[in-house]
Chain A
Amino acid sequence: MSAGQDTSVAEQQPSNGGPLIDIEHLKVFFPIKQGFIIDREVARVHAVNDVTLSISEGETVGLVGESGCGKTTMSRAIMRLIDATEGHLRFRGDDITRAGRKQLEPLRRQMQMVFQDPFASLNPRKRVVQIIGQPLHLHGTPRDKVEDRVRELLRLVGLAPEHLNRYPHEFSGGQRQRIGVARALALEPRLIVLDEPVSALDVSVQAQIINLLDDLQEEFGLTYMFVAHDLSVVRHVSDRIAVMYLGKLMEVSPSEELYTKPVHPYTFALLSAIPIPDPRENRERERIVVSGEPPNPINPPSGCVFHPRCPRATDICKEIEPPLTRYPSGHVAACHHPLNVSAEEIKGAVKDPASPLTAGDELPSPSEASSSAPSA
């Protein structure tokens, strides 16, 4: 996906339409309380820590990161299932950060969610027609029309329409996830947030669900936010991919470029950690294994949050939080010592307005340019 090159992440617009959802400096902190009778807040988990991102109509944004990086919290905040601590959330330009139940009601039909575990997210005591029909009832579809619509939806997701009186336990994992997708589609939403939609499924079935999501997007012009921990899964559906680590955005890139030219050392580490299913190439490949584990989000490290595990970290990384730097190719990364960028690209780089408010102004110096850069 080629995007406007001099616009910020927040304004970036792909070919087919304006931003559907704008996330501006979003922060979600969870308080940790302690005390007897009077609860005092003793600390905060910095789950999402100043993230700015926008998703355009018809686009698919993949959000990737290790467990505990805040990706699920962010997807729930976008759905307004969790309230933001700070920052703004706009849906088609309307600020919905603090919108109440009444205001949200018409919006709910436009944004739907597919959950990770198809065994836990369908009520085991309801029939398929009730599960998929529920959102239709709630939003005022006449009773006699519901069943026809459910049949149509089942057909759309590749299930037999006769199955509408079955219970969830009569289906396999992949089929249940199809029911979850049908429920999300019922109200013809604009945005579907998919939280790890395939990670609970058998590998041979994962591809089928991803191909289905692809087809539905084409047919209905849907916008997807695809949350996953698996870089090889997101690649197939995403136009852009955002990499998150410890509540912050590390890198945002057009999807193919992320795999051929990762700029942030964290992205490179993630890619090189995936073993390639080809013994010969796997033996020859140069890999870096990052040591340690993600630090505790209660007390994130100073400067760049990745510096304690980063093989390229220097003193500046401990002190100054790197801004999101926009390179002329449209690639955005928050790193003082980027990989895979030429001297010209560094010269043309600018600080992106999507940078966290606490970030420094210093952009990578041209001496960081790499002529023969490593790639994953």
Chain B
Amino acid sequence: MSVSPVPTGDPLLTVEDLRVSFATEEGVVQAGKSVTAMTLMGLSRSPNARFEGTAHYKGTELINASEDELRRIRGAEIAMIFQDPMTSLNPVMKIGAQIVEQIQEHEALPDQQARERAIELLEKVGIPRARERIDNYPFEFSGGMRQRVMIALALSCNPSVLIADEPTTALDVTIQAQILLRMRELRDETGAAIVLVTHDLGVVADIADRIAVMYAGRIVEHGTLDEIFYDPQHPYTWGLLGSIARIDRPRPERLPAIAGLPPSLANRPEGCHFRPRCPHEFSKCSEVPPLEARLEGNADHTDRCWLTPEQKKELREVRPGEIGLPDKQTGVNAA
């Protein structure tokens, strides 16, 4: 697999200090990773929602954009793949018609040409006999095939940004591997940027260039793939990396787990949200730590923890064999 370098030039999509909250019966609920992704597409607007901060796409403000503006951007510029391929396609519409509808919404293309483009797209995402299957309904496809249809639909107008919310979580591992491979190929072919929302660190290691780790509605650490995996700065990231059971290493006696439960989003602890589960909590943690670069000479690796880099280096405890820290690695890969 080739890793595309971190791109230079003007960023395509910038999100700053975005805060989304919802008033509910239980109190104000802070948004998590899926809602953040949906907010960029204007899909989380509701009378109960409150938005702060900004998100720009090529200079266009997204958070307060009008529905008309969003219609132009959705699908054509920023496209989304949803988690559940079973419920995110229209069940009473042939898949071809759904793709053609989206193409014609954004481009004045005659029916026949739009249909040809749809067939081409279905072939590109690996649906066999696309010419026949274009007239099938979603229920005639398996989960993996439906997710491919979703991807074809998302790619239909050559978007520059593809937001994928847990695109493989509902799929079996062999199908997941096929879909991830296809997404990587399409990224390299079309040059689109991908925002992937997932809880699976294996998938992250497979496809991401940069990672933002989120906990209870806040980004707690942000860095490149290698920085997060080999030099994690936030205790939550340590716990996350430490709780992965790796199939290529001998099995540990007990599965490492982060003690305690994630806080309810309506009732989060003051200050650092990870405080009640953090073994290194101290007095300063009752204040919210800002997300900033704390490592010398690396302005792009940011985190939200009051500990100094020296303290972190000392306290960082990662069990050998369960995380890829180079200084603590015990053995080589089984292969």
Interface residues of B in 224-262 (CB under 8 A from A): 225-226, 229, 239-241, 243-248, 250-251, 254-258, 261-262
In the complex, A66 has a CB within 8 A of chain B: yes
In the complex, A205 has a CB within 8 A of chain B: yes
Interface residues of B in 300-316 (CB under 8 A from A): none
Given the interface pairs A174-B261, A283-B3, the reply to whether A277 lies near B173 with Cβ below 8 Å is no
The closest CB in chain B to the CB of A203 belongs to B199
Interface readout for B1-38 with A: 1 if CB under 8 Å, 0 if not? 10100000000000000000000000000000000000
User: B257–A277 contact, CB under 8 A?
Assistant: no
Q: Which residues does chain A contribute within 8 Å of B324, judged by CB atoms?
A: 277-281
Interface residues of A in 261-291 (CB under 8 A from B): 269-287, 289-291
In the complex, A231 has a CB within 8 A of chain B: yes
Chain B min CB distance to A248 (Å): 17
Chain B min CB distance to A258 (Å): 10
Interface residues of B in 189-207 (CB under 8 A from A): 199-206
Q: Which residues does chain B contribute within 8 Å of A67, judged by CB atoms?
A: 143, 172
In the complex, A232 has a CB within 8 A of chain B: yes
Name which of A115-123, A208-216, A312-320, A349-357 contacts chain B: A208-216
In the complex, B174 has a CB within 8 A of chain A: yes
In the complex, A337 has a CB within 8 A of chain B: no
User: A275–B180 contact, CB under 8 A?
Assistant: yes
Partner of B256, one of A66, A207, A256, A270: A207
Q: Which residues does chain A contribute within 8 Å of B258, judged by CB atoms?
A: 204
Q: Which residues does chain A contribute within 8 Å of B251, judged by CB atoms?
A: 235-236, 256
In the complex, A293 has a CB within 8 A of chain B: yes
In the complex, A311 has a CB within 8 A of chain B: no
In the complex, what distance in Å separates the CA atom of A68 from the CA atom of B239?
A: 34
Q: Which residues does chain B contribute within 8 Å of A176, judged by CB atoms?
A: none
User: B173–A211 contact, CB under 8 A?
Assistant: no
Interface residues of B in 111-149 (CB under 8 A from A): 142-145
In the complex, A376 has a CB within 8 A of chain B: yes
User: A210–B174 contact, CB under 8 A?
Assistant: no
In the complex, A202 has a CB within 8 A of chain B: yes
Partner of A284, one of B142, B244, B333: B333
Q: Which residues does chain B contribute within 8 Å of A271, judged by CB atoms?
A: 247
In the complex, what distance in Å separates the CA atom of A214 from the CA atom of B253?
A: 10
User: B254–A273 contact, CB under 8 A?
Assistant: no
In the complex, B178 has a CB within 8 A of chain A: yes
User: A275–B174 contact, CB under 8 A?
Assistant: no
Chain B min CB distance to A30 (Å): 18
User: B172–A232 contact, CB under 8 A?
Assistant: no
User: A203–B172 contact, CB under 8 A?
Assistant: no
Chain B min CB distance to A300 (Å): 16
User: B178–A375 contact, CB under 8 A?
Assistant: no
Interface readout for A140-170 with B: 1 if CB under 8 Å, 0 if not? 0000000000000000000000000000000
In the complex, what distance in Å separates the CA atom of A376 from the CA atom of B246?
A: 12
Sample 5 A-B pairs with CB under 8 A, ordered by A number. A205-B257, A275-B203, A281-B324, A290-B174, A291-B178
**4 cross-chain pairs, A with B, having the tightest CB-CB distances, nearest first:** A207-B257, A275-B202, A278-B324, A277-B201
